[in-house]
Amino acid sequence: MAKVISLINQKGGVGKTTSANAIAVCLKHKNFRVLCVDFDPQAYLSFSMGADNRDKPTIYEVLKHSIKPQFAVQRTPIIDILPSNGLLTNVEREFTGIGSESILKECLEPLLKNYDYVVIDTPPELGLMLSNAVIASDVVLIPALSDGYSLHGVIQVHETVMRIKEALNPKLVVGGMFLLRYYQREALSRTARETAKMLTRQLDIPLLTTTVRHSNVLSKAMTMLQADIIEYAPNNKAVQDYIRLVDELFEKGVL
Ligand SMILES: Nc1ncnc2c1ncn2[C@@H]1O[C@H](COP(=O)(O)OP(=O)(O)OP(=O)(O)O)[C@@H](O)[C@H]1O
Ligand SMILES: [Mg+2]
């Protein structure tokens, strides 16, 4: 049965989608069977993986039960993915009442036997979409930028995670927070690391030692070329960082 991992942070632009793509690709290159789930109406993960979200069914049709999940999975040159598109914005309005927080979990269940890992990308918000992702997950990972505002937002997302864990998903593991665009030589990054250490200690969640450096190549591979980042730029510093990050998650028993 697959282990389900969600990348979460209600702050926008911190690297959730980039990390979902990179972690999924790293797992694939370790010969695991990986499914990506794009659970963000912005659909950047679908785009970065080269999925067709215009003419083919998406996660939205799956949530609506108009199609079985296995028929909405696309096999792109990079990975298997349940894509999304703008229709997913309807979820908050259309799904209300008891059980609306568990729809994603139910929809993914029939697919779990076919994969070792499912990686979910989530939107920058704390609403129903995030609850669905957290309830469907075994592990949540929190990417954060190396700046004060970004770190502060982690307190809110952590509160949501804890509420759901206690009420609905006691086996959930907070795999940890990790810092993106981190520079050892920059005073601001070092200050951010100290703040992150204090914050994670206070919240009692792990701070991963691996940080991900800035790289335009990573961005280009995903947003312009729809390339597998390890095939495209195996020696790129940020790609190397993600490989190390995944190794750290294995060493810590999170994956
Ligand atoms: N390590 C990195 N180096 C350079 N650019 C990066 C890196 N990580 C992410 N980016 C870029 O930063 C931008 C935001 O990243 P991303 O889309 O992954 O954030 P997000 O948290 O998913 O945003 P949103 O909350 O809007 O979904 C993107 O343009 C992405 O290409
Ligand atoms: Mg995103």
Look at ligand 1, atom 6, and give the residue with the nearest C-alpha: 219
149 falls in which pLDDT band (50, 70, 90)? confident
Length of the chain: 255
Beta strands at 117-121 and 139-145: parallel, antiparallel or unpaired:
unpaired
Identify whether the C-beta of residue 52 lies closer than 8 Å to the C-beta of residue 62. no
| Ligand 2 centroid – CA 223 distance (Å) | 12
> In the predicted model, is pLDDT for residue 218 greater than 80?
yes
The number of the ligand nearest the C-alpha atom of 217 reads: 1
Domains of the chain listed by start with CATH number: 3-249 (3.40.50.300)
Confidence at residue 162, expressed as pLDDT on a 0 to 100 scale: 96
pLDDT, average across residues 9-22: 96
Q: Chain-wide mean pLDDT for the chain?
A: 95
CB atoms within 10 A of CB 202: 10
Tokens of 92: 């908050």
The helix/strand/coil state of 37 is strand
> In the predicted model, is pLDDT for residue 189 greater than 80?
no
Q: What percent of the chain has pLDDT over 70?
A: 100
> In the predicted model, is pLDDT for residue 15 greater than 80?
yes
| Ligand 2 centroid – CA 17 distance (Å) | 4
Confidence at residue 97, expressed as pLDDT on a 0 to 100 scale: 87
Closest CA to 118 of 128, 110, 126, 108: 108
Look at ligand 1, atom 8, and give the residue with the nearest C-alpha: 15
pTM, entire model: 0.97
- From CA 148, how far away is CA 48, in angstroms rounded? 28
pLDDT, average across residues 48-65: 97
Residues within 6 Å of ligand 1 by CB: 12-18, 40, 42, 44, 124, 180-181, 212, 214-216, 218-219, 223, 238
Look at ligand 1, atom 31, and give the residue with the nearest C-alpha: 219
**29-48 pLDDT, tens per residue?**
999 999 999 999 999 999 99
Which ligand 1 atom lies nearest to the CA of residue 180?
1
- From CA 83, how far away is CA 58, in angstroms rounded? 5
